[in-house]
Structure 1
Amino acid sequence: MSNEGRYLHPAPTYRLVVAGRDITPAIDARLISLTLTEGRANQADQLDIVLSDHDGQLAIPRKEAEIELQLGWVGRQLIDKGTFVVDEAEHSGAPDIITIRARAADLGGEIRKRTEKSWHDTTLAAILATLAKRNDLTHKVDAKLGATKVQHIDQTNESDMHFITRLARKYDAVATVKKKHLLFMPIDGTKNSKGESLPTIEITRIDGDQHRWASSTRDAYDGVKALWNDRKFGKRKEVIAGKKDGNLKTMKETFGSEADALAAAKSELQRINRGMATFDLNLAIGVPELMPQTPVRVVGFKPEIDGQGWLVKEVTHTLGDGGLTSKVQMERAGDEDEKQSD
């Protein structure tokens, strides 16, 4: 990412569209603050807008109104930050203000209704294809993840969205539903909600006004062991993701197949490795291009920080009196794990 013009304090700008109409000119003079929080799961995406109602002429928006947001800097192409649905509104004072809270769209209706289904001898791709079709969604699933064999899993009194989120947790993936499209990708991958590769963004120390790096070996493991029941021979067996000879973490759950056990062990090891180092940055000049899964390279800190690849876990963009700022939470980018089994 080029740094040209980054330090001339450009003017921030935005665009809000409701029901196809650009409402930016109508509310710009009333805007007190706009805050967008983006996380890996749809539930984490939240848009908060605070508007002045000093003259009492501002109408409270209806629930379920859709808001499209673009964010950026004057003279540059605005970044599409997605569509959100109003689910909370508050009027308070004095002075009178209206606070609007909207969350990621495409999370209502059928995908939130609880249902029951059992899945046997299938693949992750087949399960997700069924869920997408049931909710009239297009979908894209990472090929390697999609080929994962699933011997048995139950969806018990559970919504499709909750089940998709649980699958993502189980297989260390990111699952998003945006603009009628389901995306299921590795959590240590670098794809956006359209499945497009995200470019690496370089952040230098001069970009940020505060930072915090933390590293811990307290929960460091060389590998993860998972147990599974071999029904054919009536024995309990084990698989290991990572280094076989070393400090191993043993998972509490016993799995129904070797494939399920190995997938769970790999996912757990990847989570452990990513969490061994974290890096948080407050950017005085916001970078609206930052979103979850964005790969980041940092320059100007300690060698231990600069020498590590980072992956955005959560980012909060705030537009207000302080201009456009970004608060970024990052974790260590994962490495390819070794796999061994007994």
Structure 2
Amino acid sequence: MTPVLKIMKGDTDLMVGMLPYFVSATFTDNAGETDDEFEIELDDNFRQIPIPQEDDLLIVFAGWRETGVPMIGAFKVNGWETGCEQGPETIKITARAATMAGDFKAGGLKHWHDSTLGQILEETAKAAGLSLAIDPELAKVKLPYALRWEASPIDFANRIAAEAGGTAKPGGQKLAVTKRGSGKGADGGELPPILITRTGCAGWRIKGEPRPRHGKIEVSWHDPKTGKRKSIRYSTGAKGPTHTLLHPRASEDEAKRAAEAHSRKLNMLTGGGHFMWPYNPAWSAGAKVIASGFGDGVDGTWLSESIATTWAKGQPVLSTITVKAPAEAKGGES
């Protein structure tokens, strides 16, 4: 099939003028808090490429001529780098996923009592000029108190979403909040799984990391009825020592959520690596990766952390899918 890459600035396709100087372009789709990124490398041996303007808006389309060329994102230029190392002098232009709203990094002060995570993040997103897309399960989480103290909307959203086991990422006109390691999108539905087989795989490397395994998570909380500190223990489903979270929570429910969220995070640290596969624009970072034909230790379900796709002259268009171990295990309160 024929790969197609279009980089639009306004009504102009920059690839038309860039083509004689084009070296490569890489799109990295990240799950979780990290912004998606787009990078272009151009032959600049005679310094003929003008320095890009910060915050230039680039709309990128990528796919295959035979099956369609969807938009993969809107990006704002945030840097450039020029130099020469064992080859022609080049310039690299980097851009991050654009938030089509006001300043999402501005500080602020606000507090909430007896609100749901959905209500809090709805107001937080609105203050930044964004709409909210949140997993319905996360939206229902009740918080007795939340304080945003001189924190930007995105930093605050990341913090309280993480406490409930989620991740928050702005892009376009939305703040998307998903459950960490669930393989689901912001609507709560399963993302299309990424099917990887040994036959057809351009490369892979997977390793196990047994050291972070813990058998239980212990979290303390304050009981307002007795004025005493209590604690719960949550089984991770693995074997190992108990991991204690330092800061006490305001309620038993918060303690349980924190324990479950930390359990999922630790489980994902027990293995990981990457697979290389021909680019598929339908795939999204955060989806489950189902590997087969590789053998024991590799076959099974993984979670995609990022998908980095590179276009280069004369080279096949391949995606490097970075994976982590699944977050789920047969655990629970103990």
TM-score relative to the length of structure 1: 0.86
* Corresponding position of 1:16: 7
CA-CA distance at 1:193 after TM superposition = 6.5
Matched AA of 2:206: W
* Corresponding position of 1:318: 310
Deviations 1:69-115 (A, max 9, x none): 12223322124321100111344469553321101101874311111
CA distance in 1, matches of 2:212, 2:162: 19
1:262 matched to 2:232: no
Q: 1:264 to 1:303 in 2, by over 3 A?
A: same
CA distance in 2, matches of 1:180, 1:42: 16
SS of the counterpart of 2:259?
helix
1:238 matched to 2:231: yes
CA distance in 2, matches of 1:323, 1:109: 39
CA-CA distance at 1:288 after TM superposition = 4.0
CA distance in 2, matches of 1:91, 1:237: 57
Q: Is the 8 A contact 2:107 2:151 kept in 1?
A: yes
1:205 matched to 2:205: no
1:128 matched to 2:116: no
> How do 1:141-220 and structure 2 match up within 5 A?
141-192=134-185, 197-220=190-213
1:35 matched to 2:26: yes
* Deviates further, 159-168 or 202-211: 202-211
1:69 matched to 2:73: no
Q: 1:192 to 1:114 in 2, by over 3 A?
A: same
CA distance in 2, matches of 1:127, 1:336: 30
Q: 1:89 to 1:57 in 2, by over 3 A?
A: same
> How do 1:105-120 and structure 2 match up within 5 A?
105-106=98-99, 109-120=102-113
Deviations 1:146-172 (A, max 9, x none): 111212232222111111122232222
Q: Is the 8 A contact 1:188 1:333 kept in 2?
A: yes
Q: 1:97 to 1:304 in 2, by over 3 A?
A: closer
Deviations 1:203-244 (A, max 9, x none): 111333332222233322333121001122021111233379
CA distance in 2, matches of 1:336, 1:120: 33
CA distance in 2, matches of 1:42, 1:176: 5
* Corresponding position of 1:6: none
Q: 1:33 to 1:84 in 2, by over 3 A?
A: same
1:97 matched to 2:74: no
CA distance in 2, matches of 1:339, 1:41: 24
CA distance in 2, matches of 1:95, 1:304: 42
CA distance in 2, matches of 1:193, 1:23: 32
CA-CA distance at 1:31 after TM superposition = 1.1
Number of residue-to-residue matches in the alignment: 330
Q: Which runs of 5+ in 2 are unaligned?
A: none
* Corresponding position of 2:75: 84
CA distance in 1, matches of 2:133, 2:52: 34
Given candidates 272, 277, 282, the residue that maps to 2:266 is 272
CA-CA distance at 1:66 after TM superposition = 0.8
1:49 matched to 2:40: yes
1:226 matched to 2:228: no
CA distance in 1, matches of 2:129, 2:115: 21
* Deviates further, 319-328 or 239-248: 239-248
CA-CA distance at 1:318 after TM superposition = 1.1
Q: Is the 8 A contact 2:178 2:185 kept in 1?
A: no
CA-CA distance at 1:55 after TM superposition = 6.0
Matched AA of 1:316: A
CA distance in 2, matches of 1:243, 1:214: 21
CA distance in 2, matches of 1:210, 1:243: 32
Matched AA of 1:137: L
Identity, % of aligned positions: 24
Q: Is the 8 A contact 1:212 1:279 kept in 2?
A: yes
Q: 1:58 to 1:261 in 2, by over 3 A?
A: same
CA RMSD of aligned residues (A): 2.6
CA distance in 2, matches of 1:212, 1:219: 20
CA-CA distance at 1:38 after TM superposition = 2.2
TM-score relative to the length of structure 2: 0.88
Q: 1:42 to 1:185 in 2, by over 3 A?
A: closer
